[in-house]
Chains A and B, each alone.
Chain A
Amino acid sequence: MHIQLSAHRIYNLSALCLLLGATVLAGCSSTDTPTPQARRITEYQSDYEQMSPATKAGVARGFISRADDFKAAYIALGKPDVITTSADGHITTWTYHAFLPPQTEAVKKQAPKNVRGYNRMSSPLNDSFEAWRHNVSMHEHELSGDANLAGPNPRPYDPRTAVSNVAPKSANQSWADYARYVHERRFIQDPKVTKVLDMEQEDLYQKALTESPIADPSTVRLDVIFIENRISDAIIDESHSAFSSIP
């Protein structure tokens, strides 16, 4: 009887150990890797607790808004690659050279086809990034070329009829420079002059293909501008504001 009891106890103990082990293993497998934002929230927990509910929700997902402070921007975006400031320290810029825009699960499932679809998304920052990544304009025209845009009365951009008759942007060219080219190309009526402009841009593009490394298309350059410690604007690829309104 004593021996039988011991065997029963050993059996129970083994079962308990197995159960505990399974529980621990299950716990390990179900624990998600914390997001970078979650790690930074832990780092600045007390500052995070003092933020407004809207800011908390935004930064935890990697989004920023105008008037957010340095710590909110840090939690949302991480440490910048370059920090520059004016001589009086009033205007500070955080630059991220290869910034990967945040994406929610809902956004990942949606393949936006036009700008109207973005209205369902919650963050203008994210909307702007998504529009840029899918080369969809938020201003009723796009930069990669469209015959409909030529002339003084351009029609709204329609991807079904778009014709790429404008030379593409080169890898090492800023969007501001490329926009200048497209603007000139669009409003100059003399075909000889536009031909010269196109040839120059095409040369720049071909040269960049051989000389410049191709940047990861999923990343962008992001400049977050602070005035007096508060976010004033965020500029994507030196080109347009991440907070621009969506038509």
Chain B
Amino acid sequence: MTTTHTLLRFTALLLSGLLFSATGFTQESSPATDRLEKMNPFTVSALYAAVEIKFTLSGKNLFEPLADPVAFAEISAVVLRDPDDIPDVAVGDKLLRIDGVELKGLTIPQIAELLNNARANDVPTWEIGQLLSTKTIKFDGDWLTPLPGLKR
């Protein structure tokens, strides 16, 4: 009798233990699943800051801005996608080259084509001019005002 009673208590304890442990597993795995659902690592927006680029034109074709060669391109705004992320670009930086091709002298549609090709091959390489130095970065953030013919 006593043996049976002990066995029953042990079985009940085992079952309840299993139940609690199963509940514990589900409770632990649930937030991780949520986090994975919220964060999509395959979108560019999750990785890069978005930028606004302003072009200064050479004035050689005064009445057609899209056919006027660019003198330089400047980052006029940066929108952070992640508060903890420190982007490699800042307002006032000059965008000098994309994948080694100099932007000076190109028209805006030509730059659009250049960026489109660079995106098709890989993450574009930007040469950024700052006040006293230049640096090369891999950057494919959204353009807040997209170039003609591009979606972002």
Interface of A toward B, CB cutoff 8 Å: 70-71, 74, 79-80, 82-89, 92, 229
CA distance A234 to B130 in the complex (A): 30
CA distance A138 to B124 in the complex (A): 50
CA distance A70 to B53 in the complex (A): 23
CB <8 Å contact, A88 and B63: no
CB <8 Å contact, B59 and A87: no
Chain A residues near B57 (CB, 8 Å)?
83-85
CB <8 Å contact, A84 and B54: yes
A-B Cβ contacts below 8 A, count:
49
The contact of A82 among B53, B56, B148, by CB within 8 Å, is B56
Question: Number of B residues contacting the other chain (C-beta, 8 Å)?
Answer: 19
CB <8 Å contact, B147 and A87: yes
Residue of B nearest to A74 (CB): B62
Given A87-B145, A89-B148, do A80 and B59 touch, yes or no (CB 8 Å)? yes
Chain A residues near B98 (CB, 8 Å)?
none
Q: Which 6 A-B pairs have the closest CB atoms?
A: A70-B63, A89-B66, A83-B57, A87-B145, A85-B65, A89-B65
Given A70-B62, A74-B62, A79-B62, do A86 and B54 touch, yes or no (CB 8 Å)? yes
CA distance A83 to B90 in the complex (A): 22
B114-152 CB contacts (< 8 Å) to partner A: 143, 145-148
Residue of B nearest to A95 (CB): B56
CA distance A84 to B58 in the complex (A): 9
Chain A residues near B146 (CB, 8 Å)?
87-88
Chain A residues near B148 (CB, 8 Å)?
88-89
21 A-B pairs (CB sep. < 8 Å): A70-B62, A74-B63, A79-B62, A80-B59, A82-B56, A83-B59, A83-B65, A84-B54, A84-B55, A84-B56, A85-B54, A85-B55, A85-B57, A85-B108, A87-B53, A87-B54, A87-B145, A88-B108, A88-B147, A88-B148, A92-B65
